[in-house]
Structure 1
Amino acid sequence: MRRNRRLLSLVAALALAGSAVVAVTAAPAQAAPVTIPNGTQFTDTYGNALHAHGGGVLKVGGYYYWFGENRNADNTFRAVSVYRSTNLRDWEFRNNVLTQSSAAELRVANIERPKVIYNAGTGRYVMWMHKENGTDYGEARAAVASSATVDGDYTYHGSFRPLGHMSRDITLYNDGGTAYMLSAADENRDLHLYRLTADYLQVATLVGNFWNDASREAPALFKRGSTYFLLTSGLTGWNPNQARYATAPSISGPWTTMTNVGDSTTFRSQSTFVLPIQGTSTTSYLYMGDRWAGAWGGPVNDSQYVWLPITFPSATTMSLTWYPTITVDTATGTITGQAPAYHRITNRNSGKVVDVLDMAVTDNAEVKQWSWNGGANQKWEFRDAGSGYFRIVNQHSGKCLDVADASTANHANVIQYGCGSGTNQQWQWVATGSYHQLRARHSGKCLDVVSSGTADGTDITQYTCGSGTNQQWTRTQS
């Protein structure tokens, strides 16, 4: 009898524990503020690279679900992957909700910019995306899939040209239960706004072509107060360009002309989504952008993420500022950016600093040592690249300290080059007494002033690490 009582107690305890687990899953604990680095690849909670490129976010209960592109090495479609998070930094992989095996036409295809909205009338989550045939870029079709659960397997409903029009970069917007799809049409010259049918699975009508011959893509549509905002990109392939936006008092217009926002390359990113973060104190708006690896010749899955707070100087204007890191508090709804800190990097042997010659802003510009003069070409940001490494980014040019051609040889030239994911642009700051060495990740070799020279213009290369003071550096915030 005593044994049975113990068994009953154990069963009760397990049942209570199980109910606690269910409660946590249904209502996650309130998230604490987190800091998120910019211009990096993200990893999920399992340590794997997070692939949600060109994607969008949907909040369900206490979780944010992030859907996006997951590509093969040849850039063809592998899956639409979904991750979830309570704080927007720690992302748990949930499922590949759409894969090559979901439908015959997806076995050789490109699927781009998947977006998901919830249909309260049907109780289904509906995904729209841009579909190509995987061999050329001529199909220009919209595709649709749906699921009864946000992170379950999605049923593919096929692809088509909306009302006969080409359809490429795409976004969705749920306006109080009425859903809209916006896509690039007519070889990306136009942007078409469509109202969807009540089940969200088809196009009901073309609301308007408000941006005829504007040549814009990568649309991100959101509403703040009583104003609708549309953020877009120009057409420069994988290379980044100037973002522009328009506003309107109604989704059906009239829309303003496009206005520039951010810098000339949108901080080397392209818009994919704007996420409202509603909390107890405020609602903030998060710009989500992709820094496409195609800009430096890499595959899509090497692309990086750029997330920035959007600020609003007025009810109908918006602004974007670069921050190397942002802090997000999903509980209060606040986003704050941390301004970059720039340093001069001084050689112990010569007392001179790392300098981009002639204040050049071009790739392959020479990096040498020079007397400190306070120029922006002598100031560097140590940007976290993960695993204890940094990208060292020049303030003047925005380009990275780079070992030319990823060489592993002694005396390989050190230059500036557009920042990418290469380990020849990642440096470890290693203490040696009260000074430090800068070790290149790909080669393990040290940043070195050639022949221990002390003159202005002496070259800087990489060389096997030793005890020489020409390989020892300090950094001072400037």
Structure 2
Amino acid sequence: MVQEQRQSITPGQVWLDTKGERIHTHGGSIITVDGVYYWYGENKEKTTPGGSIWHWGVRCYRSTDLYNWEDLGTIIPPDEDDPTSPLHPEQYLDRPHILYNATTRKFVCWVKVMTPGEPTQRSTVLVADAITGPYTMVRSWLKPLGMNAGDFDLVTHPADGKGYYYFGRVHSELICADLTDDYTDVTGYYSTHFPRLQPPFVREAPSYFTRNGLHYLLTSGTTGYYPNPSEVAVAPTYHGPFTVLGDPHRGDASRTSYHAQISSVFKHPGKKDLYIALGDRWLPHYLDDSSAALAAFEEHFGRPEGGDATPMAELAAIDTAQADYVWLPLTFEDDQVFIDWRDEWRIEDYD
């Protein structure tokens, strides 16, 4: 079935590709290559609540208008044959991020991977000559700086191409680490930010963007898939120091970031000041306030007292294959950032 052409973005509504099938790019990001947008993320097409399949590789779609997306399939397929591979469907592979390295002329993809029954969170790095692959694994089960590395973002300096890796040191703090010249590892230089005693206060899901010479991070609290208030912070450099500006979702009475978690921020290359927060509504039927969300988190997971990761069996019980996408434009007032709800909005409404 050919899907009718979309003319707008409708946050929180089911998004279908050009064939009329549900889009699977969860925890996703967008990269622009030769004027074409590529939206990639976790492929959950075979994931079922409580089932053994966590992911089915990294899936990618392409578009020229950000509305209508053509399915390109899995650009990083699952490794079905090796249970010890970080790409095996039972491994908890999350949040791929891809950078293009102009020096090596390689696309570099990092993914976070957890193993069922183990608290450790590690990284795997793959490279390819084209955005659509094929990708070759160059590092597996990496613990950057010897740390458990959770949710993350990758960024490059637009002038000199230097790379930076923002990641959550699991249930502790946020790290900004310099990448090696080829973007496949860290150099050893890093800075620490937002230290917290324990979840749900520890920050995760860092999403970076820069504007007017300032460096911004959007983060969420650690409450599993239950939504919570986002937090925005700003700094004069990649390594900080960061000043917390508060929850950008003004007007959100639910205090749940509109029942979503931001995975990345995309700066539209053809607009003067259009930044889009790309978010996942992991629990599309969960429409309650943040106090209930935190209560549910504590009931289901317990509140770790300086302990380690949330029990993964609880995470696996969530029907992430049904997660919807919440894309909203950022609004700026001086250096402050806001994300206001819109039932429907269009790229063409921005200069």
Q: TM-score, normalised by structure 2?
A: 0.80
Name 2:229's counterpart in structure 1: 242
% identity of equivalent residues = 31
Alpha-carbon displacement from aligned partner over 1:423-451 (angstroms, at most 9, x marks no partner) = xxxxxxxxxxxxxxxxxxxxxxxxxxxxx
Structure 1: how far apart are the matches of 2:284 and 2:68?
26
Alpha-carbon displacement from aligned partner over 1:262-299 (angstroms, at most 9, x marks no partner) = 031111000101000122x5231001110003875751
**Aligned runs of 1:200-349 on 2, under 5 Å?**
200-213=183-196, 215-262=202-249, 263=252, 264-279=255-270, 282-293=272-283, 296=286, 298-314=318-334, 316-329=335-348, 334=350
Structure 1: how far apart are the matches of 2:40 and 2:118?
23
Distance 1:86 1:270, change over 3 A: same
**Aligned runs of 1:4-403 on 2, under 5 Å?**
34-71=7-44, 72-73=47-48, 74=51, 76-101=54-79, 104=82, 105=85, 106-107=87-88, 108-133=90-115, 135-136=116-117, 138-157=119-138, 158-176=140-158, 177-185=161-169, 187-213=170-196, 215-262=202-249, 263=252, 264-279=255-270, 282-293=272-283, 296=286, 298-314=318-334, 316-329=335-348, 334=350
Cα offset, 1:162, TM superposition: 0.4
Question: What amino acid maps onto 2:100 in structure 1?
Answer: Y
Structure 1: how far apart are the matches of 2:213 and 2:126?
31
1 or 2 for the larger relative contact order (CA 8 Å, sep ≥6)? 2
Structure 1: how far apart are the matches of 2:264 and 2:80?
25
**Secondary structure in structure 2 of the residue aligned to 1:257:** strand
Unaligned runs of 5+ in 1: 1-31, 336-478
**Secondary structure in structure 1 of the residue aligned to 2:243:** coil
Unaligned runs of 5+ in 2: 287-316
Moved over 4 A (4+): 294-298
Confirm or deny: 8 A CA contact 1:193 1:208 kept in the other structure: yes
Structure 1: how far apart are the matches of 2:285 and 2:58?
22
Distance 1:81 1:165, change over 3 A: same
CA RMSD in angstroms, aligned pairs only? 2.0
Distance 1:89 1:33, change over 3 A: closer
Confirm or deny: 8 A CA contact 1:238 1:294 kept in the other structure: no
Name 2:314's counterpart in structure 1: none
Q: Which has the larger radius of gyration?
A: 1
Cα offset, 1:253, TM superposition: 1.4
Distance 1:298 1:145, change over 3 A: same
Structure 1: how far apart are the matches of 2:320 and 2:264?
17
Structure 1: how far apart are the matches of 2:148 and 2:132?
29
Structure 1: how far apart are the matches of 2:284 and 2:142?
27
**Secondary structure in structure 1 of the residue aligned to 2:268:** strand
Which structure shows the higher helix fraction?
A: 1
Cα offset, 1:159, TM superposition: 2.3
* Count of equivalent residues: 297
Structure 2: how far apart are the matches of 1:301 and 1:99?
17
Cα offset, 1:206, TM superposition: 3.5
**Secondary structure in structure 1 of the residue aligned to 2:233:** strand
Structure 1: how far apart are the matches of 2:80 and 2:232?
36
Alpha-carbon displacement from aligned partner over 1:166-199 (angstroms, at most 9, x marks no partner) = 11111111112011111111x3321111111001
Confirm or deny: 8 A CA contact 1:51 1:81 kept in the other structure: yes
Structure 1: how far apart are the matches of 2:337 and 2:244?
14
Q: TM-score, normalised by structure 1?
A: 0.59
Which structure shows the higher strand fraction?
A: 1
